[in-house]
């Protein structure tokens, strides 16, 4: 059992917390407080960039559905007359300075999620450790509202709205701070955000429900048309996922009737052709986030399943209103 698997058991499967992990919690808490201290003392101020900022984040390590929500929010705000741009840390990419992301940008440079957002939405996207610098790059491309993919714990960028995404299946695990648990901040932080969005399962009181739907399989190579995932029902397939919760993707394939051979990789895994060589000709189905990294060496029989977040219109209306109302398209 590797470290990631062991931590998953501790955080989400009720395994006992080793003493040495519990002993490191005060260290993590102190480091987190030290990061916030200059802002708490007024020595530094969060950067304001001249347009509204919406931060979409979560409280736990790993994925919870932030990127699908960002994509859905981009579409919803465009429908309401806004010109959104997206900024991201660019985790998994090698870029060291703020940079724009276009349709040809490599995920190895900018990270997989920013490339996915750019290709799905076609809006200005920029990455950078300094989110304010990245935000100014999307402003230069005409954005009048900035959506930050992740960043609840990034105090340097001032924000007008905070949205916390909650994994409806795993929730907050054992409810403990890193490294004894998956929390990056205490659960009391939930009371400070503007909206709480529950991804899957039953939303709790005060939360807005969101469902992820992936019904089509799209080929990575060749000219075959997209086809319903249910066309693979009854077949044995390889399921590939390098996301925060691979089990969610595999479960969605099984729900469509597929017999899945699971291949879970670490989140943001840098794929090579050998990773998809399973020694047979079975179809390979992967997430869209992974597909942006596998397109260069994909072959016939490799498919990805785009995910769409279904959100209540009331959420987009509320966000637009808080940003200053809709605009004329």
Q: What is the pLDDT of residue 259?
A: 95
Mean pLDDT of the chain: 91
pLDDT in tens, 258-299: 999 999 998 888 899 999 999 898 999 999 999 999 988 999
pLDDT at 214 over 80: yes
Q: To the nearest whole percent, how much of the chain has pLDDT over 90? A: 70
Q: For the chain, report the end-to-end CA distance as a whole number of angstroms.
A: 54
pLDDT for the residue 329: 40
pLDDT of residue 60: 93
What is the tens place of the pLDDT at every residue in 101-138? 999 899 999 999 999 999 999 999 999 988 999 999 99
Token pair 């189905």 is found at: 285
Confidence (pLDDT) at 190: 95
Which pLDDT does position 326 carry in this prediction? 54
Mind listing the pLDDT tens digit for each residue in 180-191?
999 999 999 999
Mean pLDDT for 305-313 is 92
* pLDDT higher than 90, residue 230: yes
- pLDDT tier at 63, thresholds 50, 70, 90: confident
Output the pLDDT for position 65.
Answer: 87
Asked whether the predicted pLDDT for residue 171 surpasses 50, the reply is: yes
pLDDT > 60? residue 328: no
Q: What is the pLDDT of residues 11-31, one digit of tens each?
A: 998 889 999 999 999 999 999
Predicted confidence at residue 221, as pLDDT, reads: 86
């Amino acid at each position: 059992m590797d470290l990631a698997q062991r931590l998953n058991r501790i955080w989400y499967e009720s395994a006992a917390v080793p003493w040495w992990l519990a002993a490191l919690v005060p260290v993590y808490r102190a480091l987190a407080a030290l990061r916030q201290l200059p802002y708490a003392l007024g020595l530094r101020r969060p950067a304001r960039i001249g347009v509204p900022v919406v931060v979409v984040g979560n409280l736990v390590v790993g994925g919870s559905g932030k990127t699908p929500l960002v994509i859905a929010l981009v579409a919803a705000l465009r429908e309401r007359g806004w010109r959104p741009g997206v900024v991201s840390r660019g985790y998994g990419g090698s870029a060291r300075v703020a940079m724009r992301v276009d349709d040809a940008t490599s995920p190895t440079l900018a990270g997989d999620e920013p490339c996915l957002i750019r290709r799905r939405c076609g809006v200005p996207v920029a990455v950078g450790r300094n989110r304010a610098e990245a935000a100014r790059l999307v402003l230069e491309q005409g954005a009048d509202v900035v959506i930050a993919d992740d960043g609840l714990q990034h105090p340097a960028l001032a924000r007008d709205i905070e949205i916390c995404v909650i994994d409806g299946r795993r929730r907050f695990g054992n409810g403990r701070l890193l490294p004894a648990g998956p929390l990056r901040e205490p659960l009391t932080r939930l009371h400070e955000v503007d909206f709480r969005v529950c991804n899957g399962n039953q939303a709790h009181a005060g939360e807005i429900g969101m469902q992820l739907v992936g019904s089509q399989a799209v080929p990575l190579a060749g000219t075959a048309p997209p086809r319903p995932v249910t066309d693979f029902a009854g077949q044995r397939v390889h399921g590939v996922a390098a996301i925060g919760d691979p089990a969610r993707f595999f479960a969605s394939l099984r729900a469509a009737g597929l017999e899945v051979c699971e291949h879970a990789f670490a989140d943001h895994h840098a794929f090579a052709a050998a990773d998809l060589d399973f020694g047979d000709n079975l179809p390979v189905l992967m997430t869209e986030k992974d597909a942006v990294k596998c397109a260069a060496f994909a072959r016939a029989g490799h498919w990805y399943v785009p995910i769409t977040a279904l959100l209540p219109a009331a959420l987009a209306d509320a966000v637009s209103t808080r940003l200053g109302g809709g605009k004329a398209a």
